[in-house]
Structure 1
Amino acid sequence: MVDYIVVGFGLAGLSFVDKLESNDKSYLVYENSSEQSSRVAGGLYNPVILKRFTLAWLASEQLELAISVYQNIEDKLKGSLISKLPILRRFNDVKEQNLWFEAYDKPLLNKFLSSNLIKNENEALDIPFCFGKVKHTGKIDVKKMLSLYLSYIEDKKCLIKESFEYDKLVVKEGLVEYKGIKARNLVFSEGYGVRNNPFFNYLPLQGNKGEYIIIKSEQLKLSEAVKSSIFIIPLGDDLYKVGATYNNQDKTSGITKSARENLQNKLERFLKVEYEVIDQVTGIRPTTRDRRPFVGTHSQYKNLHIINGLGSRGILIGPYVTEKLYAHIENGEDLDEEIDIKRYSKLR
């Protein structure tokens, strides 16, 4: 008997497993590495929606918790995972500059937005209308974090590298049984893979395919993340991640020529130096129609739970909804209506 079985190990699964670790709960993780959205994510933590200069959902609360959680993970895994990284928003015109200053005047936003226009000094970039700087931002090396954490739980004999077979699950009063293993609770954190889950596939997960290109440019010499219509994220060694696309129609797993061309066209509108595309990566983000995650307990089976639908802001949202779900399961605390899967009970 273990306390928990966790199915899926992206950002949601990692956050929940780390919460179990900190509370001395026993667990087993089933992971088949079929969903890649967390592993290819840009990794930025950023409290501001830079298209509209608005604060992301519960950004202040989520940011403080997330940084604390990732710092503890960094210490536990003994690997460098967190780096401070300024984000510079390229203004397209004077109108956008004015909108930035209007946003700065709002009480909840001014702690995250610089009040100064930043003149571009990088000759590799075409930035005629200056930058705005977002404060309290940085980058998590998500791919490295997931890899190190998987190795950590594998060393503890808590990882089973195989697909979860739903038809082998037996749900009983007070426990679940799966292939001879008993657990008090089971948490599904499968990302877009939840579409195959017979217990939770009624939830309207939309899925949004994102593609990045990795470029090499010795002339760019960029030490900040730059946001225009796309992000340029420095990776070190003259490498940069550029993206991402947002495609809610294509649910295939492969990279596409059209996405690469789209990203290059946007990049070349303001990049003035030569570069080489050396890689392209893709994943399907688990997005929801109301832009709120799926968190909660099955209406019939009280020891089956879900944490999913983190979308493109999983780095910030993951630790926050983990806290909520853990308190719900262990202490019987009610979930906030905006994240509770009960809001879709009519779809069952």
Structure 2
Amino acid sequence: MGHYIIVGSGLSGLATAETLLGEGHQITVFDDGSQKASMVAGGLYNPVVLKRLNLTWEGKRLMNLALPFYRALEKKLGVDFDEKISILRLFASVEEQNKWFEATDQPGLSEYLSTPLIANTNEAIHAPYGYGEVLHTGRIHTATLLSAYREYLEGIGSLQRKAFCFSDLRIEDDGVRYEGLHAGGVIFSEGFGMRSNPYFNYLPLEGNKGELLEIYAPDLKESRVIKAGIFIIPTGNDHYLAGATYDRNAEDPEPSAQARATLLKGLHKFIQCDFEITRQWAGIRPTVADRRPLVGVHPEHSTLFVINGMGSRGVLLAPYAARCLSGLILRGEPVPEGMDCIRFSRRFQSSEKKA
């Protein structure tokens, strides 16, 4: 069977590695730990865009692929990281309640949106119009998953914890050579770091900086995820994650005072008890303007591949994108039009002319 090099071990790299291993191939993964977006992600999986109350792109397909994928990984790694938890959408008005009722009648949404409204009984939360419940939801503890999977890769001799050096890559007719390895191809899954990739930096990858707070709120006593502009996620022992921010103009991966202030403002709108901030995280999500992943092969080099641009729904998108990429690499199956990076081939041609 073939041997493939994967650059990056975030959610996309992990899903690609596991998919190729599952088909009997060998892999070598390079990761220098520079990209943090997957490690600091909230990890919620939910096929509904709660702001607009519509299904995300390929929502049902993504759920049907992702949940079995993570169940199998839990069994393989012997680690629990898939937490089943309810997500409640807090209503700010009667109008929002009515929009919820309308959405529950729409094809595709009815199986994910519960019709009965839930009254608020928590005195620490201001929610006079109650909640709507999203069904079949949960949270992947991404840091736990990624740490366990990297240990697994090390155990089978498939992880190199160092940066990939582009100048050492040799592209040949029958594959690639790199540091003594002869592989069938290289798969780049570098997150926001792809902007420094000389082969795929023509793709319109954008950074979307996201920040989270951890708060300690002993009087909150909430066991469900609540989405109210921002979300709160209970993590145990009276601690909660609160987030997230979305900043398309920031490239500094460090936590900021501005995001902290934004999240605090959002929290004070519906939390009516005291709390303290115990930690703040930041990461730059790799996103694309059309909100579709970047998956496919290089326009000129048939052994160079990319899987990137998962944005804030990487937990759901990565298993499906990895399956599509492996189908392309191993069997020549076309990548679905919505995510095929060929949609930006004109940008590559333009960059070649400028060069």
Task: Normalising by structure 2, report the TM-score.
Answer: 0.97
C-alpha separation in 2, matches of 1:32 and 1:178: 16
Residue 51 (structure 1) aligns with: 51
Residue 138 (structure 1) aligns with: 138
Q: Secondary structure, in 3 states, of the residue corresponding to 1:287?
A: strand
Residue 353 (structure 2) aligns with: none
Q: Which amino acid aligns with 1:44?
A: L
Residue 7 (structure 2) aligns with: 7
Residue 110, structure 1, aligned to residue 110, structure 2: yes
* Deviation of 1:341 (Å): 0.8
* Deviation of 1:20 (Å): 1.4
Q: Secondary structure, in 3 states, of the residue corresponding to 1:206?
A: strand
C-alpha separation in 2, matches of 1:235 and 1:24: 37
Deviations 1:53-79 (A, max 9, x none): 111111111101100000011001101
Q: Secondary structure, in 3 states, of the residue corresponding to 1:320?
A: helix
Deviations 1:23-78 (A, max 9, x none): 12111000011011100000100010000111111111110110000001100110
Q: Which amino acid aligns with 2:57?
A: W
Cα RMSD of the aligned pairs, angstroms, is 0.9
Q: Secondary structure, in 3 states, of the residue corresponding to 1:286?
A: strand
Q: Which amino acid aligns with 2:155?
A: D
Residue 296 (structure 1) aligns with: 296
Residue 343 (structure 2) aligns with: 343
- Which is worse superposed, 225-234 or 20-29? 20-29
- Which is worse superposed, 15-24 or 225-234? 15-24
* Deviation of 1:322 (Å): 0.8
Superposition map of 1:324-343 within 5 A: 324-343=324-343
Residue 278 (structure 2) aligns with: 278
Q: Which amino acid aligns with 2:110?
A: N
Residue 180 (structure 2) aligns with: 180
Q: Secondary structure, in 3 states, of the residue corresponding to 2:292?
A: coil
**Given that residues 2 and 182 in structure 1 are in contact (C-alpha distance below 8 angstroms), is that contact kept between their aligned partners in structure 2?**
no
Q: Which amino acid aligns with 2:66?
A: A
Residue 76 (structure 2) aligns with: 76
* Deviation of 1:127 (Å): 0.3
* Deviation of 1:179 (Å): 1.6
Q: Which amino acid aligns with 2:133?
A: K
C-alpha separation in 2, matches of 1:24 and 1:123: 54
Q: Which amino acid aligns with 1:303?
A: T
Task: Normalising by structure 1, report the TM-score.
Answer: 0.99
**Given that residues 49 and 55 in structure 1 are in contact (C-alpha distance below 8 angstroms), is that contact kept between their aligned partners in structure 2?**
yes
* Deviation of 1:2 (Å): 5.8
* Deviation of 1:248 (Å): 0.3
Q: Which amino acid aligns with 2:102?
A: E
**Given that residues 207 and 250 in structure 2 are in contact (C-alpha distance below 8 angstroms), is that contact kept between their aligned partners in structure 1?**
no
C-alpha separation in 2, matches of 1:283 and 1:4: 28
Q: Secondary structure, in 3 states, of the residue corresponding to 1:333?
A: coil
Residue 222, structure 1, aligned to residue 198, structure 2: no
* Deviation of 1:249 (Å): 0.5
Q: Secondary structure, in 3 states, of the residue corresponding to 2:283?
A: strand
* Deviation of 1:209 (Å): 0.2
Q: Which amino acid aligns with 1:265?
A: K
Residue 159 (structure 1) aligns with: 159
Deviations 1:91-149 (A, max 9, x none): 01000101111111101101000101100011110001110000010011110000000
**Given that residues 2 and 28 in structure 1 are in contact (C-alpha distance below 8 angstroms), is that contact kept between their aligned partners in structure 2?**
no
Residue 258 (structure 2) aligns with: 258
- Which is worse superposed, 331-340 or 91-100? 331-340
Residue 238, structure 1, aligned to residue 238, structure 2: yes
Instruction: Structure 1: give runs of 5+ residues left out of the alignment.
Output: none
C-alpha separation in 2, matches of 1:336 and 1:47: 19
Residue 352 (structure 2) aligns with: none
Q: Secondary structure, in 3 states, of the residue corresponding to 1:296?
A: strand
Deviations 1:192-239 (A, max 9, x none): 000000000000001100000000111111110000010001111111
C-alpha separation in 1, matches of 2:159 and 2:319: 21
**Given that residues 211 and 281 in structure 2 are in contact (C-alpha distance below 8 angstroms), is that contact kept between their aligned partners in structure 1?**
yes
C-alpha separation in 2, matches of 1:6 and 1:318: 14
Residue 306 (structure 2) aligns with: 306
Q: Secondary structure, in 3 states, of the residue corresponding to 1:57?
A: coil
Residue 247 (structure 1) aligns with: 247
Runs of 4+ aligned structure 1 residues displaced above 6 Å come to none
Q: Which amino acid aligns with 1:55?
A: L
Residue identity (%): 43
Q: Secondary structure, in 3 states, of the residue corresponding to 1:118?
A: coil
C-alpha separation in 1, matches of 2:81 and 2:258: 32
Residue 199 (structure 2) aligns with: 199
C-alpha separation in 1, matches of 2:2 and 2:104: 50
C-alpha separation in 2, matches of 1:124 and 1:187: 48
Q: Which amino acid aligns with 2:345?
A: S
Deviations 1:141-196 (A, max 9, x none): 11000000001111111110111111110100011011211111110000000000
Residue 316, structure 1, aligned to residue 316, structure 2: yes
**Given that residues 293 and 309 in structure 1 are in contact (C-alpha distance below 8 angstroms), is that contact kept between their aligned partners in structure 2?**
yes
Q: Secondary structure, in 3 states, of the residue corresponding to 1:261?
A: helix
C-alpha separation in 2, matches of 1:66 and 1:174: 33
